[in-house]
Structure 1
Amino acid sequence: MAALAVQFQQRFHALAGNIERVIRGKRETIELALITLFSEGHLLIEDVPGTGKTTLARSLAASIEADLRRIQFTPDLLPSDITGVSIFNQSNQKFEFHQGPVFAHIVLADEINRASPKTQAALLEVMEERRVTVDAEPHPVPRPFMVVATQNPVDMDGTYPLPEAQLDRFLMCVSVGYPDHASEVEVLKGMPTGPQVERLPLIARAADVGGMIDFATRIHVADSIYDYVVAVVSATRRSPEVRLGASPRASLALLRACRVKAAAAGRHFVIPEDVKALAAPVLAHRLILTPEAEMRDRTAAAIVAETLAATPGPQALATV
């Protein structure tokens, strides 16, 4: 088990290093995206234009030889434009299903908050069940399957905020952010001959990714860690500044992500630091703050950090 964890670690960091050739100076964000992939989760990237949101998704797909489909969300986009549609074939007098762009390993949902709620809801089933049902007929999507959605938090005109049910289906929400000075200088020096997405070498194949996903599910979790995860998540529901706390789905998501982070560190067991490192990106976007907290410019990430500080660690829990 330990040897397999080391192999996982080596391939994980090889993937992160490969993507970092294009996305300079954002190692933490890249690793969070990879943790989401190996947790079989979905990623929401909320950031201003031009910071590399789309490039991150393309680099990830290129590194694992994944089929990438991009959907530009607009107000006139229909659910069938995403999932596909059944078309009547005159030659055999039968309806035939024509797959939509959601049938890919990685689906880039660009500016997801610009589509209508009805179109946004078309992703709910496939994100949770990994299949699309059309005319009562289920159609499974390939494995691995990951939705990478982007949204611009600045230009909010003509947008439809994602409902809580859909936010809860994103395992993580991250921000790429602006590069530091040195990284931005390197980007300028490398253009137009520097590393590009199309030139990235292949690090792993889809079958390799599937094997890494399966291995991560076997990472050991002690009873005290289970208690700690539930304690942290349930504490968000009791915060006076939170109107809607994290759901049990958040507990499952946090645990899956912690298993992958442990494997990425070459360990075959989860430690409390894994929970602390991933709590904010996994939980913060699921919290709905009270109007009073928002007026005081409180952030969900700050509340998660305070919750972690106030929650006893596994050792303390074991002695209670």
Structure 2
Amino acid sequence: MLEQYLDINPEVAAALAAGKPVVALESTIISHGMPYPQNVETALKVEQIIRDNGAVPATIAILKGRLKVGMTHEEIEYLGKAGLDVIKTSRRDIPFIVAKGVDGATTVASTMILAQMAGIKVFATGGIGGVHRGAQQTFDISADLQELANTDVTVVCAGAKSILDIGLTLEYLETQGVPVIGYQTSTLPAFYTRESEFGVDYQLDTPAQIAAAMKAKWDMDLKGGIVVANPIPEAHQLDRAMIDQVIADAVAEMDSKGIFGKASTPFLLAKVAETTKGVSLAANIELVFNNAKLAANIAVEYAK
């Protein structure tokens, strides 16, 4: 049934069939995360980092209504040039993008869904979505969290995006039974900074330990994903007081303009990049590179 919708890149399909390590990558970061040609250069470098660390990259998107698991360089180039014209696609959007035969860039949630369809267990991204600030009034909670509760994929990230309410995000994940692992850290990284005031559920210090926890969880049919929080490299982290103030100002501007829902994260990230004169974007790129390397290392251990 899935074959009528799903195209798995031949290299990815061969790796999966042979039990070799594969790492899924999202495409919203290409279309909505940064401008062309920087988005394409970053996407291709992330793929190369995964290859250099012994795994096969599978960048995921929807092109002309086809679910693509593993994209060619030409397809990544096409997506990067199309940019914001590509529809940001979460779980609810997938059937409509497919039915209309149009292009969709996958978020964390939809990338997890397509990765699971293909049989990929490890996914590298920048930061997960979560509970937005002021969600007590707005109920603005990312679909990423519900996907983590239900979909058996390990998501390697630099923590929750610091534009979110990190405390409430952790509470939601706990309620849904999603473990949050700190990679060589006992505190949750906050995307642009290496730590926050919040602790993780478990500190694990090697990719092999993480792979063993994945195997145990899914062998016992304990449904749902795992969050691996990997701190941004020290050389690239931003000053916490500075970034907190920039985000607070951006959130206030967003509220005054009445921006909400799926438009809120791209607005906030763009506003932070503009205010920091591109420093936050450079940090964002470095943390994605760092996450790709760890994800490949975990995928290699899990494949063993």
TM-score by length of 1: 0.26
Considering only CA atoms, is the larger Rg found in Structure 1 or Structure 2? 1
TM-score by length of 2: 0.27
